[in-house]
Structure formats: C-alpha cells, structure tokens
Structure 1
Amino acid sequence: MQKILLLRFSSIGDIVLTSPVVRCLKTQLPNVEIHFLTKKTFASILDANPYIDQVHTFDKDTQPLKQVVKALQKEQYTLLIDLHKNLRSWYVARQLGIKTIAFNKLNLQKWLLTQFKIDKMPHLHIVDRYLDTVRELNIKNDDKGLDYHIPPQDYIDLTILDQRLTDQTFIVFVIGAAHATKRLPASKIKSICKMLPKELIVLIGGKGDREAAQIIETAGNQVINACGQFNLHQSASIVDRAKVVIAHDTGFMHIAAALKRPIVSIWGNTVPKFGMYPYLPSNGPKFTIIEQPTLTCRPCSKIGHPQCPKGHFNCMNQLDEATIVEAVLDILDNN
C-alpha cells in the first residue's frame, strides 16, 4: 500500500484549490491511503472529503507542529507531497526523511510582477500547476474541477433567512475578503444591489463584514443580510443554491467554483495572472472577470493590503457598477 501525506497549511481558497490533486491521487492510484496536514483552523474544510483517509492538524497553542510531526513519524508514509512550500513544510519533510515532491510557488515570478510589472508567470492555473507537481506519479487531470463537501447537518433551511428564498431564484454577493484592497467599498456594492431591484440578493460574509452589510442592505428589501450568522459550511450551503455568485478574489470564490456556480469575479489589487481565477470544468458553468486591467500600479501585492498603497484605490473605485450588473444579468438570462 502507498501511504501519502499532503501538506497545505492555509488558507480556505488555497486548500480548496488542492482538492483535484487529492481526488486524482485517490481515484487513479491503486491501493493508496491519503493523509492531509493543515492548520487546525482549516481542518473543517477537509473533514467531509471522502478522498482523504485522515486529516492531521497543528496549532501553535494546543498542537505544536513539532509534537504533531513526532506522531506523523509513526505513520510510515511512502511519499510526502508539499503543496505549501515554506519553512514549516520543509521542517516536516526533513523530520520525516522520506521522498518529497514539492510545488514550485514561483515566488521570483510573482515578485517581478508585483514590483516591476514584468510578467513571467506561466499562463496556467495554479490547479494545473499543482497537478503538474504530481505528474511523475502518472496522475492526469480528470477535468472534474474543484471539490467542496458540505456535511448534511450544515445544509441550512433557507427560510431561516427569508421565506422568499423557497420559491425564488437568488444571487449571492460575497462581500468580504481578508484584505481591504480585495474588497469593493460598501457604497459600490450598495449601488450594484440598487441596480438589481427585482433580484433577491443574499449577502455572505463573516462577523467582520456586518458593518458593511448594514450599509448595503439599505439598498432595498431585495437584499438579505446573512453576514456573520453561519459557519463556513452553512454559508457554502447558501452559495450552493444561488443562481449566480458575485465574489472578490477570495476563498469563497473558489468554494463557489467547487460548487459549480456561475461566478462574477471582481478583482482589485491582485490579478488573475497569478493563476487563481475561478477553476471550473470545461463543460461546467462560466465565469466573468471584472477588473481594471490598464492600471499601471496593479498588482501591488500577491495577497493584499489593509489600504491602497497609493491612496486612490482606483483598482476598485474605477470599476463600473453597470458592467458588473450587466455581467450578472447576462448569466441570469442564459441559465
């Protein structure tokens, strides 16, 4: 039996993006056992995945990595696949002392793009780069896209939010993002919602998005505020039933792609050239990219900032609300 340990420590979107690798390994290799090591905070993303035999976690306060690695040494893995490639993953590989296949994060290419706007990135999605990492195992892309598995107990009754959701189609607008420069200002989201008066719009976000959601919901009674009310899986269960999902460059954009939802993808300081745009099967729903491609200051970061380094935030402020609305209506009209 082969026993493989995969490493991807964070975050939500990055872990979801590894799901095709997990699935293809499990379904294409004979007699294989798949284990996954991640931070405890993100373990719930993987717990319901039927292609993973065991999830291992670490936490700096309750489960230090050094302690977890000692337990992993007893597992007798035959291969380690490092899809994170940082100092911690190097430590795990060194301590286990087994054959390791490591993902190339292309940090130099990302640095050239953010600092000098020199594009040396491959025209390849990060999922395809993940799959290239395990090519020597004769693993092939099955073109089934991403996976996200919602436990049955987390599939919420939509009438908890609004009775109208039982018999009307609706849009999900994921208003949050970990970094401010990835988020549309609340005033622009409100404007977009006002331009869609006939469509039910459910706002998805965390507790930190409640203030913005309170501004946005004044756009009209078609806006239903679900921010900060549900856990990750429960929020995903709402996304799973949306007719279209509007999302920034965030983990929920990738969850929406995994749930095979049509997506309007809004980009601020980051760019699709990093290879992390929505990843959908070739016969699946479509996505639309909304960005300001002519700004010479984009991308200013591969992740994001708490505020615009230039002070103008033109990457979001110059986006046309009508263009976003048109993209949403086009999906609604053709699905």
Structure 2
Amino acid sequence: MVKKILFIRRDNIGDLVCTTPAIHAVRNHYPDARIGILVNTYNVDAIRNNPDINEIYTYEKAKHAPEKNKISVWLNNLKVLHKIRKEKYDAAIGCGSYSPRLARYTFITGAKKRIGYLKKGMKSKFYNMPLYEPEEILHEAEKTFNLLSCLGINGAPQQLRIFPSGDEVRKVQDILNASGFSKEKYLIAFHISSRRPENRWPAEKFMELGKLILDRYNAAILLLWSPGSEKNIYHPGDDEKAEFIKNSLKPKPIACKTTKLGELISALSLSSLVVCCDGGAMHIAAALQKPIVTVWGSTNPKSWAPWGTRHVILTDGKDASNVSVNDVFAAISTMLG
C-alpha cells in the first residue's frame, strides 16, 4: 500500500507548474496519502498554498546564492535529504528528463519505489521502477503525468494548478488602486523577461505594442519583469528594459517590480490578458486560466505550449525578435473580441 509519495522537481518554474496536474491526480487516486515535494528556493512559491501537498522540502542551488559559502549550502541540503530519508517514503518520483543528478537525488531519498526516466537502452541502479523516455514529443505536463503509470494512475493531465497568496494579491491590488486603475478597464499584463536570449522580444516592440493597445482599448498595462540589472552576472534582470518601456508610454504603465515569485503570481492573477515571452510566467498565467498571447523563439510548442488555456503562440521558429508588433496586436484584438 502506497501511503507516502514524494515528487522531486529540481529545475525551473515552468517545469514545476507543469507537474501540478500529476500531483493532483495522485491526491485524487490516493486521497489519504501523505504527499511531499522536493523543490528549490527559486521555484518553491509556485506550489505554496497547494492543497494537494502535505510537505514541502526546499533545497538551495549554490548558483542561486553566490553570497553564501558553498560548503554551508551543501550541508544545509544534506540536512534536507536526511529529513526526507527519515520520513521513509513509499515512492519517490524524479520528474523531468533523465539526468544523473536527478536519479541520484531520487535514490538518496531511500524510497522503496524509485520512479524516473532513463534514456533508451540505459540501465540504472538508482531507479528500480524506470520508464524509458518517450519516443514521441509530449508536452511536459503529459510527460510528467506518464510517470504515474508506475503507481497505477493512467489517463491525461488536467488543468495546471497554482494558488495566489491572499496577502500578496492585496498588495498588488493596493498598487493598482494607488495608480488610479479603474476596474472598468482591461488590465493587460506585459511580462517582458525570458531566460533564453532567443525568446526575448525587444523593449522597442513592447513599447510600440503598448501604444497600439492604449490607442485602441480602454485598458491599462501592468508591467512585469524579472527584477535586477542586466549587468548582474549572477541574477541578470530587466530593470533597464522595464524603465525604458515605462518612460516611453503615455499614460505610463503600472510598473510592478515583483521581487518574489509569489508577487508575480498574484499580479498575473489580477490581469485580464497576458502578453509574454516563453518562460515561467507564461505557465503561471496558464495555471491561472488567463488568455495568453506569447512571443517565442526556438522552443518547441509541442513540449511547452500554455497548457489548458486560450492562447496564441507567435514564432518564426528561430528568434522572438523576428515577430512583428502588428501580428501580436492582431492576436490581442482577437482575444479581446
């Protein structure tokens, strides 16, 4: 009998959000089970307040804390893994494509059943219930969900799930109120950041798009971005890009510098429509059931399209900067009716 199940999701925000349908399916199949999840400090806010999860274990990647001594970071992470081993989980699921480190983490948990993907033809002492990577291209939500077959759960993933904090929603609402925002207006969120350079849309194009929207619609623009200077080698952000867009539009966008992931989730939850690049914010918006217009570079839509919500993907398959402002505006007009 499976009574304790651990998910391991040690990568990026979007990957973790795409895991939430699998977590929910386990909760429905094993309603009395204790469900834990091991995540990192960077993505943990994406699963806070999730009623399907009993225990959240958080470890820190040394690259996310350059100001800390690496040895102290590693020691703290060992304490987290020791705590997990003491729980004696019945099953641990290493979510994501095969990686040696993910396989080792799954093994170290000490779980009786250790589930994860291997590349075709591989063998591993770390997984005792492995699956081979699917040959066909699947969406990340589907690929993660398929790992549940080892627990007797089959079918298709449902909606992504995310739960904004009430306190943080009120903080963003206060920012909107202070700006004079009227609820009769559309609130169109621009999230202007993306981790991969080829997925970034230029500031000048966001500015031109903003002018078209403000001329045509009774709308306000909520400007969101990854905080920090583009010159920061450890955590580069888009402060300069946001400042350019803010100062180029009249009326000015409502600039909301979200220093925590929970704040970004709350800000997106209040929007009418989200315009963004490929990245974690897009998957958060999908989990919030927001209509999305997204500008892409070379990412494969079959794997990473917004799951379970109305969306338009605009891409030439190579570089987001090649997508025209007029095409994005036409997609927004279709969404708004």
Q: CA deviation at 1:241?
A: 2.2
* Paired position in structure 2 for 1:138: 152
Correspondence for 1:224 among 243, 253, 263: 253
One-letter amino acid matched to 1:13: G
- For the 8 Å contact 1:150–1:237, the answer to whether it is kept is yes
One-letter amino acid matched to 2:321: N
Q: Which moved more, 1:210-219 or 1:168-177?
A: 210-219
User: Per the alignment, in what secondary structure is the counterpart of residue 173 of structure 1?
Assistant: strand
* Paired position in structure 2 for 1:79: 91
Correspondence for 1:179 among 176, 189, 196: 196
* Paired position in structure 1 for 2:77: 65
2: CA distance between counterparts of 1:191 and 1:145? 33
One-letter amino acid matched to 2:335: I
Correspondence for 2:139 among 106, 121, 125: 125
Aligned: 1:148 with 2:162: yes
- For the 8 Å contact 1:24–1:141, the answer to whether it is kept is no
Aligned: 1:316 with 2:320: yes
Q: TM-score, normalised by structure 1?
A: 0.81
Q: CA deviation at 1:150?
A: 1.1
* Paired position in structure 2 for 1:237: 266
* Paired position in structure 1 for 2:288: 259
One-letter amino acid matched to 1:94: F
2: CA distance between counterparts of 1:164 and 1:24? 39
2: CA distance between counterparts of 1:325 and 1:41? 32
CA shift in 2, pair 1:98/1:92, >3 Å:
farther
Q: Which moved more, 1:53-62 or 1:218-227?
A: 218-227
Aligned alpha-carbon RMSD (Å)? 2.4
* Paired position in structure 1 for 2:210: 193
* Paired position in structure 2 for 1:91: 104
Listed as ranges, the matches of 1:254-293 within 5 Å are 254-273=283-302, 275-280=303-308, 285-293=309-317
User: Per the alignment, in what secondary structure is the counterpart of residue 34 of structure 1?
Assistant: strand
Q: CA deviation at 1:171?
A: 0.6
Q: Which moved more, 1:50-59 or 1:64-73?
A: 64-73
One-letter amino acid matched to 2:160: L
1: CA distance between counterparts of 2:282 and 2:135? 21
Q: CA deviation at 1:286?
A: 1.2
> Structure 1 regions of 5+ residues with no counterpart?
107-119, 299-314
One-letter amino acid matched to 1:21: A
- For the 8 Å contact 2:145–2:156, the answer to whether it is kept is no
Q: Which moved more, 1:84-93 or 1:130-139?
A: 84-93
1:115-170 deviations in Å (ceiling 9; x for gaps): xxxxx962431111111111232324575410111121111343424212433221
Identity across matched positions, percent = 25
- For the 8 Å contact 1:206–1:227, the answer to whether it is kept is no
* Paired position in structure 2 for 1:49: 50
Q: CA deviation at 1:227?
A: 4.4
- For the 8 Å contact 1:203–1:223, the answer to whether it is kept is no
1:159-209 deviations in Å (ceiling 9; x for gaps): 424212433221111101123222101111111111212331111112222
One-letter amino acid matched to 1:177: S
User: Per the alignment, in what secondary structure is the counterpart of residue 36 of structure 2?
Assistant: strand
Correspondence for 1:332 among 325, 333, 336: 336
> Structure 2 regions of 5+ residues with no counterpart?
63-71, 121-133, 228-236
One-letter amino acid matched to 1:195: L
2: CA distance between counterparts of 1:50 and 1:97? 23
2: CA distance between counterparts of 1:202 and 1:47? 24
One-letter amino acid matched to 1:181: E
CA shift in 2, pair 1:27/1:138, >3 Å:
same
User: Per the alignment, in what secondary structure is the counterpart of residue 253 of structure 2?
Assistant: strand
CA shift in 2, pair 1:30/1:235, >3 Å:
closer
1:33-59 deviations in Å (ceiling 9; x for gaps): 100011133222222111110011222
- For the 8 Å contact 1:172–1:203, the answer to whether it is kept is yes
Q: CA deviation at 1:268?
A: 1.3
* Paired position in structure 1 for 2:240: 211
Q: CA deviation at 1:76?
A: 1.0
2: CA distance between counterparts of 1:256 and 1:26? 23
